[in-house]
Structure 1
Amino acid sequence: MRFPRFRLLVLLAALSLLGACSFRPTTTLYRLDSGDPATPERNGLAVLLGPVTLADYLQRDAALVQRHKDGSLSAADNARWAGNLKADIDQLLLRQLAWRLDSHRLEAEPGTSGFKPDIQVLLNITRLDSGPKQPAVLEAQWRLLDRRGRLGESRLVRLEEPHKGSSADQVRAQSVVLQRLAEQLAAAIRPLAKQQAQASASAPEPRKSARVSARPKAEAKQPPEPDIPIVSPTRDVKVFRF
């Protein structure tokens, strides 16, 4: 009778494990949404995006960060980013900027060898989060450098987007604020690029140096000597007297 009882215990244990697994919440993976940007049609402005830096709390864990009413933060139990969050942000901004500037010539820092940007975008994201009852908030500072490395413009931004509370809608809202950030960047890049083009067009051309002749200067001609006949003395002159 011991063996049937042992088999019953094993069966009950297996059923309890299966029940625990069936009730364990599944983890859903999310990626930022780049929207539906059109593919650029020309090789326009050359833009280098980066360095792009994120706040420390966005780099500690792949879990979706949840902000609560008291300002505290926690990691979502069943929602995680599908990949690297910074890489997703870079790709979203690159695609949005390429569409808005209509240019294929956009690269993420450090860029390929020989790539010479007309504009470089330095971006520091200090906040990007949301919560079940808190809107998606993006806080960042960006700076634009011209092709000579001079500061063209700098700005602090804060963007908010409401959502319906679910993890999926929170990710949608965070994607929207990043798309709006790309819209602001494109609007600031256009006039700066136009100023650079006008400055290049109005710059004076370098003066051409005078050509140095390889031929030696012709020697000054001496004035011709007068054609005067030379009188030579007459020898053996006889004098006749009459």
Structure 2
Amino acid sequence: MNVVRLPLGLLLATVLSACVSNAPVPLYQLDAGPAHAPVNEEGIAVLLGPISIADYLQREALLQRQEDGSLTTATGGRWAGSLAADIDQQLLRQLAAQLDTQRLVLAPAAPGFVPQVQIKLAISRLDSGPSRPAVLEAQWSLLSKDGKLLNGRLIRLEEPHQGGLADQVQAQSRVMQKLVTQLASAVRSADKAESVAQADAARKKAPATPAKPEAPPRMPVAEPIRIDAEVFRF
């Protein structure tokens, strides 16, 4: 029997390579921050979506923005599932928590759900790099229940970090939280304006209280004049 003898250096390199290939890869998710579960079942009804996300974000690879603007795949970690699906869920949960409403659903809505406002969102960029800040670029629109444009913004948000993958994910989470805060503020303002408009409309439709007719002028009544005097006779 022939025995193949490998050089010691090559043998060690093969063992180390096998260990590295079998090492677990860290998985990352966006952080919702201190969001709480909403309890108000009669809160404002919001339809979230449609949400469009740039093609390069619809993957599990964690991309790194380089100094020249190019994107490379991180070797030290990846997203725990689809980043696009994670963004949808993070937006839903954080927005419901900030508005304290259970009546917030992702588009398309189920039959019978009538939203008071609708949020349309397009995310064109969400990334960072070892020496590049976390950047979120997006456009959102707020529509009334009859499709009228109430508000809208084209935004760019940035957040610094320390350089590591975990720090970058936290920075990306913070720019997402800033976006949610902006959306929640717009929804509250629209809801307040709608309440004021409805109150004004109801006040205008209310029947006016009829004015009381003025009493006719009172004519003076002639009264007999009584003279209390004594007549003396001599």
Band the TM-score falls in, shorter-chain normalisation:
0.7 to 0.9
Aligned mate of 1:34, from 26, 32, 35: 32
**2:115 partner amino acid:** P
Query: 1:39 offset after TM fit, Å?
Result: 2.1
Return the alpha-carbon distance in structure 2 between the equivalents of residues 137 and 118 of structure 1.
Answer: 31
Return the alpha-carbon distance in structure 2 between the equivalents of residues 200 and 178 of structure 1.
Answer: 33
Aligned mate of 2:158, from 154, 157, 160: 160
3-state SS of 2:177 partner: helix
Q: Which residue of 1 aligns with 2:48?
A: 49
Q: Which residue of 2 aligns with 1:19?
A: 16
Return the alpha-carbon distance in structure 1 between the equivalents of residues 132 and 87 of structure 2.
Answer: 21
Return the alpha-carbon distance in structure 2 between the equivalents of residues 119 and 86 of structure 1.
Answer: 23
In structure 2, relative to structure 1, the CA distance for the partners of 1:16 and 1:66 (3 Å cut) is closer
Return the alpha-carbon distance in structure 2 between the equivalents of residues 39 and 86 of structure 1.
Answer: 22
Q: Which residue of 1 aligns with 2:90?
A: 92
Return the alpha-carbon distance in structure 2 between the equivalents of residues 14 and 74 of structure 1.
Answer: 32
* Stretches of structure 2 lacking an aligned partner (at least 5 in a row): 208-234
3-state SS of 1:186 partner: helix
Aligned mate of 1:73, from 60, 66, 71: 71
3-state SS of 1:6 partner: coil
Return the alpha-carbon distance in structure 2 between the equivalents of residues 35 and 147 of structure 1.
Answer: 30
Return the alpha-carbon distance in structure 1 between the equivalents of residues 137 and 162 of structure 2.
Answer: 21
**1:27 partner amino acid:** V
Q: Which residue of 2 aligns with 1:218?
A: none
* Stretches of structure 1 lacking an aligned partner (at least 5 in a row): 208-242
Q: Which segment drifts farther, 73-82 or 148-157? A: 73-82
3-state SS of 2:3 partner: helix
Query: 1:78 offset after TM fit, Å?
Result: 2.7
Query: 1:151 offset after TM fit, Å?
Result: 0.5
TM alignment of 1:179-198, pairs within 5 A: 179-198=177-196
Query: 1:8 offset after TM fit, Å?
Result: 5.0
C-alpha RMSD over aligned residues: 2.4
In structure 2, relative to structure 1, the CA distance for the partners of 1:68 and 1:14 (3 Å cut) is closer
Q: Which residue of 1 aligns with 2:226?
A: none
Q: Which residue of 1 aligns with 2:62?
A: 64
The CA deviation string for residues 46-90 of structure 1, in whole angstroms up to 9 with x for no partner, is: 11111111112212x321110011111111123211111111111
Q: Which residue of 2 aligns with 1:134?
A: 132
Q: Percent identity?
A: 51
Q: Could you tell me the TM-score, scaled by structure 1's length?
A: 0.76
Q: Which segment drifts farther, 77-86 or 171-180? A: 77-86
The CA deviation string for residues 141-196 of structure 1, in whole angstroms up to 9 with x for no partner, is: 00000111110011011111111111111111101100010000111111111122
In structure 2, relative to structure 1, the CA distance for the partners of 1:71 and 1:16 (3 Å cut) is closer
Query: 1:197 offset after TM fit, Å?
Result: 2.2
Q: Could you tell me the TM-score, scaled by structure 2's length?
A: 0.79
Q: Is the 8 A contact 1:26 1:78 kept in 2?
A: no
Return the alpha-carbon distance in structure 1 between the equivalents of residues 190 and 127 of structure 2.
Answer: 31
Question: Structure 1 runs of 4+ off > 6 angstroms?
Answer: 12-15
**1:163 partner amino acid:** H
Return the alpha-carbon distance in structure 2 between the equivalents of residues 23 and 98 of structure 1.
Answer: 42
- Could you say which structure has the larger radius of gyration? 1
Query: 1:16 offset after TM fit, Å?
Result: 5.7
